Structures are given as C-alpha cells and as structure tokens.
Amino acid sequence: MSTEPTLTDLSAAVLARGGELRAGGTDTTARHRAGITPGPFTDLDGAEALRGCTPLPGGGLRIGALTTLAALAADPRVRSGWPALAVSAGTAATPQIRAAGTLGGNLLQRNRCWYYRNPHFSCLQKGGDGCPARAGDHHFGVVSGDGPCVAPHPSTLAMALLTYDAEADIDGEPPRTVAELYGDGDRLHQSDHLLAPGRILTAVLLPPALPGERAACHRATSRAHAEWPLVEAAARLALDGATVTHAAVAAGGVARVPLRLPEVEAALIGREATPEVLAEAAATVLARCRPLPQTGYKATLFRDTVLEALEQALG
C-alpha cells in the first residue's frame, strides 16, 4: 500500500537531489523539453493535503496549492466570494492547461522571455552576465521598472490575488503576503519568485469576502485564443449608490512583478464612478511607465486595459 509523502519528505528530497518541485507540470515540462531545465523533478502530485478549498474562521478561504485552475474557476464559493480570482483562473491559458495547471504552479512559474526559453542564449535568469532581450527583441518586455531583467512576470492569478491582499502559506515559515513572494522586482534577475529552494508553497489564504463586490479581469492579447497577455488587469469595486467605497486594482504583463495600483484606487475611492472619473483613474498608471525602445505601445495599452477592467466591473 502506497503512503502519501509528507511535506518534509518532499522538501528533503528536492534538497538532496537538486532540481525542482513539480506540480501540474505545464511549465516544468515545457522548460525540460526546451533543454533549459534538466531536472530532476520531485513530484508534489501525491500530496493530497495540498488540494481543495477549506473555509477559514472569520469567513476567509484556504486554497491548496495543488488546486487546479479549472477547479478554482468552477468552485461556487470562489465565484461568489472572490470573483476576481475565479474569473482570472477561468480565462488563463487554455482549457487543457487549466485542467492540469495548479494555483501554486501559476504563482511560481517562470517567465516567457524567448531568450530565457532558448537553450542557445545565456541570460541573467540562467546565471549569465546580461540580458540579451534588453539589447535584442524585447517587444513583449516590461514597460514599468528599472531592474536588470526585462521579462514581465507571467502569473495571472498572482495579479488577482494582490487585489485581495491574499497570503501565501509556506511549509516551515510564517505566512507572507503574495506580494512578498516577488518583492519589488529588482531581485528577480535570477528567478521569478523569492521562495527559497526546498520550501513548499502549501496554500493561499484569502480574507473574508467583501459583500456586493463587483469584479472583472481583462486581458489584452495579440490574438484571440491561447495567448499570453500583453497587458492584463483585475479590478474590484464596491459602491454606495454611485460612490466608490472600495477599490482594489492590479495589473500584469507590465513589470517584473505583478503590480498593485494604489494610484488608481486613490483616484476612485470617495468619488462617483462616472466615465470621466474612471478614465482619470486609469490614466494615473502612465506616471509609472518607463518604456523600453520597443515597449512604448504598452503604456497606452496599460492605461486602456485598466480602464476596460474598471468599466467591466461596473457593467
């Protein structure tokens, strides 16, 4: 009879063998096939304690790190209480990837820069000395931030979780905010997260639901289906009549980390949600844009994507 591995066993295995932990395998398999991640891999698949959603005292929700994106998008508790997360999980990638990809894997995946993903190029992400994308083709690169790597962070779910001030539960450590998994981006030039080797992200902890919240996520892509977003945004709003009483807005695809946008939130709270106010709030993101030579188009796309998310949330 097989015995379910403990988290201690799994952590010890990856520290002893090297390589990586593997969840759904959608990212690790692609990197392995490309020849940039040799392994070995320690599979988390048997750790059933990392699956599913569990209510927390006070009205929050614990979501196991091995919960698939498809299960997350379909869960009625998530859909009713934390709709921005449900929508982001349901629109990410393709149905096949959502069926296999996991919450933890989405948060800890590696970036999609084609120089990083090509085994014939050296780069900071692979221990090299420079970023070939900065001097090469960086059409899909960052538009905000000054770090040495110019690859945007790819996690859609991290972006949505920022709007909930969610926490990451890590085996052997106190919980930290999801934002603290990434820091400010300046340190993310040799990885795409700050989780220490051998540590296991076990769950995400959501705060109590906000009654009556209106939420939306919008992705701007270069084709209609199965495409990584050029820019994406998540918006959560609560209103008293026409006045915005709560706003939480975040964006992805624009920086080395998913970004919470406090300037947009401040421009909304306490004001009537008129088209003019929404447009003014969305335009505040332009102040944080420092485009690379090929990413100037992302500045206006950033603004317009945030505006679209705000309008959809109120629609």
CB 263 within 8 A of CB 284: yes
- Give the end-to-end CA distance of the chain in Å, rounded to a whole number: 54
- Predicted local distance difference test score (pLDDT) of residue 225: 62
- Predicted local distance difference test score (pLDDT) of residue 223: 74
pTM over cut 0.85 = yes
∠ Cα 258 264 267 (to 5°): 165
d(CA 171, CA 18): 18
Question: What burial class does residue 61 get, using C-beta atoms within 10 Å of its C-beta: 0-12 exposed, 13-18 middle, 19+ buried?
Answer: buried
- Predicted local distance difference test score (pLDDT) of residue 15: 85
Q: Enter the tokens of residue 216.
A: 């939306």
- Predicted local distance difference test score (pLDDT) of residue 228: 84
Which H helix or E strand runs over 248?
strand 243-252
Of 111, 133, 137, the residue nearest 122 (C-alpha): 133
Of 76, 27, 67, the residue nearest 45 (C-alpha): 67
Q: Enter the tokens of residue 86.
A: 């449900």
Question: What phi and psi, each to the nearest 5 degrees, are found at residue 204?
Answer: -115, 135
Q: Which long-range contacts (CB under 8 A, 24 or more apart) does 1-7 make?
A: 2/46, 4/46, 4/47, 4/48, 4/49, 5/46, 5/47, 7/47, 7/49, 7/171, 7/200, 7/202
- Predicted local distance difference test score (pLDDT) of residue 258: 97
d(CA 200, CA 179): 17
**For residue range 196-215, what is the model confidence (pLDDT) as tens digits?**
988 999 999 999 999 999 99
Of 127, 150, 124, 147, the residue nearest 137 (C-alpha): 150
- Predicted local distance difference test score (pLDDT) of residue 224: 64
- Predicted local distance difference test score (pLDDT) of residue 1: 45
- List alpha helices for the chain, DSSP H: 7-17, 26-34, 69-74, 76-81, 83-91, 95-100, 103-108, 132-135, 156-162, 262-266, 275-283, 297-314
- Predicted local distance difference test score (pLDDT) of residue 111: 96
Q: Enter the tokens of residue 286.
A: 């332009």
CB 288 within 8 A of CB 264: no
Spell out the per-residue pLDDT of the chain, length 315, in tens. 456 778 888 888 888 888 899 999 999 999 999 999 998 999 998 888 899 999 999 999 999 999 999 999 999 999 999 999 999 999 988 889 999 999 999 999 999 999 999 999 999 999 999 999 999 999 999 999 989 999 999 999 999 999 999 999 999 899 999 999 999 888 888 899 999 988 999 999 999 999 999 999 999 998 766 678 999 999 999 999 999 999 999 999 999 999 999 999 999 999 999 999 999 999 999 999 999 999 999 999 999 999 999 999 999
3-class secondary structure, 167: strand
